[in-house]
Structure 1
């Protein structure tokens, strides 16, 4: 498998762990004020990032492209900025980071749409076959 899908999956797992720890902390303190930020971390950091990783695993030509690497770094930066910005907005510390993160989220999805349109998974690609499963 290309290194890019692995990076997407590994980063998604780290964001999932961070989201879980944050959820446990909210539960332990009985303070769910920042639940929207926590939800964005889980959705964009784990779910969407894992979906991107799955696409890139199925589309090795796309995964090998420069735009895919830029996509990884843009999305990773956005996942770090947006939940923090949402938390700041909820606590009355300003909305600028949430706005920047939101624009980065839109840019990341537009970039993904372009990649899907440009490289079309399965369009003449050879995907490395895994070793055959042992006979049962």
Structure 2
């Protein structure tokens, strides 16, 4: 799972940088919260988790690691879509934001349980 986390983190990094360029060129800073969440929860968080999984292979060889990976990568895009929706006053966007945050929190809890259970 470490390599998968690092690969998807690189994708989030590229998306965040692309969005940074768009923000800078357009001078539209309403997209800054989206860019910040992509960088922090996508690039930084998954990158660090990927490095942890590579450093401690026993952590990445679990079902919890796979579930964590998928829940995180479903929750983050939902959160991003929700923030975009809120920026455009879409009524259902709040549900997307809440669902995204709940999934992200669940993925962090799974990661924590995995670390506490497997790291000896």
TM-score (norm. length: structure 1): 0.82
**Which contiguous aligned blocks of 4+ residues in structure 1 show a shift greater than 2 angstroms?**
none
Higher-helix-fraction structure: 2
Instruction: Count matched residues.
Output: 118
CA distance in 2, matches of 1:95, 1:38: 18
Does residue 36 in structure 1 map to residue 33 in structure 2? yes
Match of 1:86 in 2: 83
- Structure 2 gap ranges (5+): none
Cα-Cα RMSD = 1.0
CA distance in 2, matches of 1:103, 1:22: 25
CA distance in 1, matches of 2:8, 2:103: 17
Match of 2:107 in 1: 108
Compute the displacement of 1:95 (Å). Answer: 1.0
TM-score (norm. length: structure 2): 0.93
Compute the displacement of 1:115 (Å). Answer: 0.7
Structure possessing the higher radius of gyration over alpha carbons: 1
